[in-house]
Amino acid sequence: MAKRYVDERTAGDRAGRERGERPRNARRLTACADADYRSAMIAEREVHPVPPCAAGRIPWLGAAPRLLRDPTAFFAEHRRRLGDTYLVDVFGRRLLCVFSPAGVRRLYELPEDEASFGLATFDLLKAKVPIEVFLGRRNRPHDLFGNEEVQRYLGVLEDVVALEIEELGSTGRFEIFRAMRRLGHRLGFGSWAGTEAASARHLDRLIPLFDRLDGSDAFVRPIRALIAQATHQARERRAQRGIEEILGEILAERQRDGRRPGDFLDQIWDSFADVTPAERPIQVARDVMVLHMGAQSNLYAALAWTLVNVLLRPDLLARIRDGDDVLLEKTANESIRMAQRSITLRRVLKPVEVYDGRGTYRVGPGVFLATMLSVTNTSAGPDLHRFEPDHYAGRRLAPDVEIPTKELVSTFGHGRHSCPAQRFAITAIRISIRRLLEHFDFAPEFTTAAPRRRQIGGVARAQRPCWVAYQKRPLGSARQVRPTAS
């Protein structure tokens, strides 16, 4: 640490340091301790004792150029070189990365008011999504995804999948991730934006607007977030206004016709009864935007990987077609585990201590605690590097899968930070994949599929397109399985 304050720095540099400026002679900052100096000029961002650091030579960017080329490989390589706990400075942020059982467990168990998951996520999303979309929200995912609520979605999910199957026709071909993205949008719109939004009339207008607004680009394709910042989110704001207009049309038609289906769009509408008539549909639309972006960030990719993994394994396909929904759900969970590229972040708000199994680090406000699921999900236990649905029993890892702590393997998070939409997502995947397999025979035009290397966050998109040909199956060739909530 002493190297950060060496006497060769000029008096001007020292004065600039007091103002929070970068030293003029930053070219001399070549060692890891000097890289630490750049981010720790603000005392709150310090970590004591200082662990090894994945240094970057470019001020503010830090290690970003190497990290963004292949985030999973970057974190895994530095774990091998530096150990289970190390620092990374990237885009002006200081990350304390933890990969040991004790360190990861501590990351999940810290209270939200000491190390915030919500603020860390918001810190990423606000670069891509206009901030007013997040302000004043009244309907959170936790409000719409309770166990009893998912049962209400079943009929909607079945109807939406039936619409998609009808539009596919009797024969053709599609790229799996692109087709599942469309289906994912449709499932979400039908569930919380009204069946009108999932209809052909509105669907093709809404999809490009949501794709343009898409907050998941902040971590799937970080360069798009930088472009959004550089353009003051001009494209995103146009998309936001377009979504508000379309949902405003749907709400106006309901009011004009006196129609109340009793769905979640009605519930959201009722929650804004106290705002002005002009503002009410706008606020309803923004609640829908936040809910939909949250679900769509992972749902369609999880759908796609489940279909990919089933189609590449004829024995799995045969058993699922024969009605094994337990196996189908295990396949979905295993597909998500293998494709996870989420970086779990907690923004430290108060001084905290992090014990990693070997020592205790005192971490100041402003530091981000981090772990990368793609590193631990496939290395935490024997055979976790390979795809095997029997790794799961229901929503949890099977009892015979031995890992040092449950937090090292994650699909939907752990504890208070578990994804509230888990039950909805698995139910939507099961209904969608089952109905597709019942109605069509598929001929994959690919033999392997790999996650997108540059992705940091969310369930992976595919590195290369996965095309598949399909043909309608003869009537009576498939067993019909009645849907239930997971």
- Look at residue 298 and tell me if it is in a domain: yes
Taking only the tens place, the pLDDT of each residue in 161-196 is: 999 999 999 999 999 999 999 999 999 999 999 999
What average pLDDT does this structure show over 278-304?
Answer: 93
Domain end among 56, 90, 125: 125
Nearest to 403 by CA among 389, 415, 385: 385
Higher pLDDT, 483 or 56: 56
Higher pLDDT, 367 or 55: 367
b/e per residue 235-266 (b: at least 16 CB within 10 A)? ebbebbebbbebbbebbeebeeeeeeeebbbb
Same domain (yes/no): 137, 105: no
Domain end among 58, 90, 125: 125
Cβ atoms of 442 and 175 closer than 8 Å: no
Same domain (yes/no): 32, 113: yes
Same domain (yes/no): 155, 121: no
- Look at residue 346 and tell me if it is in a domain: no
Same domain (yes/no): 105, 188: no
175 forms bridges with which residues in the sheet? 467
**pLDDT higher than threshold 50 for residue 6:** no
Same domain (yes/no): 336, 417: yes
Same domain (yes/no): 259, 317: yes
Beta strands, E only, 385-439: 392-393, 396-397
Cβ atoms of 294 and 286 closer than 8 Å: no
H/E stretch holding 437: helix 422-439
Scanning 31-116, the segments in alpha helix (DSSP H) are 32-39, 64-69, 71-82, 101-109
- Look at residue 193 and tell me if it is in a domain: yes
Nearest to 460 by CA among 426, 389, 411, 387: 411
**pLDDT higher than threshold 60 for residue 28:** no
Q: Which residue has the tokens 């599609």?
A: 174
Same domain (yes/no): 163, 104: no
pTM, full prediction:
0.86
Return the CATH number at 224: 1.10.630.10
Domain end among 76, 108, 125: 125
Taking only the tens place, the pLDDT of each residue in 392-447 is: 998 899 999 999 999 999 999 888 778 878 888 999 999 999 999 999 999 999 99
- Look at residue 486 and tell me if it is in a domain: no
DSSP letters for 189-223: HHHHS-HHHHSHHHHHHHHHHHHHH-TTHHHHSHH
For residue 65, say if its preceding peptide bond is cis, omega within 30 degrees of 0. Answer: no
Which residues form the domain of 392? 131-340+377-472
Question: CA 336 to CA 302: how far, in whole Å?
Answer: 6
For position 206, what pLDDT does the model report?
96
Same domain (yes/no): 79, 157: no
Residue 175: what are its φ and ψ, rounded to 5°? Answer: -85, 125
Taking only the tens place, the pLDDT of each residue in 194-208 is: 999 999 999 999 999
Cα 197–chain centre separation: 23
What average pLDDT does this structure show over 129-141?
Answer: 91
Same domain (yes/no): 7, 77: yes
Give the total number of structural domains in the chain: 2
Same domain (yes/no): 11, 50: yes
Same domain (yes/no): 194, 162: yes
Question: CA 107 to CA 187: how far, in whole Å?
Answer: 33
- Look at residue 357 and tell me if it is in a domain: no
- Look at residue 481 and tell me if it is in a domain: no
Counting every residue written for the chain, the total comes to 486
- Look at residue 478 and tell me if it is in a domain: no
Same domain (yes/no): 162, 268: yes
Q: Which residue has the tokens 């907690």?
A: 346
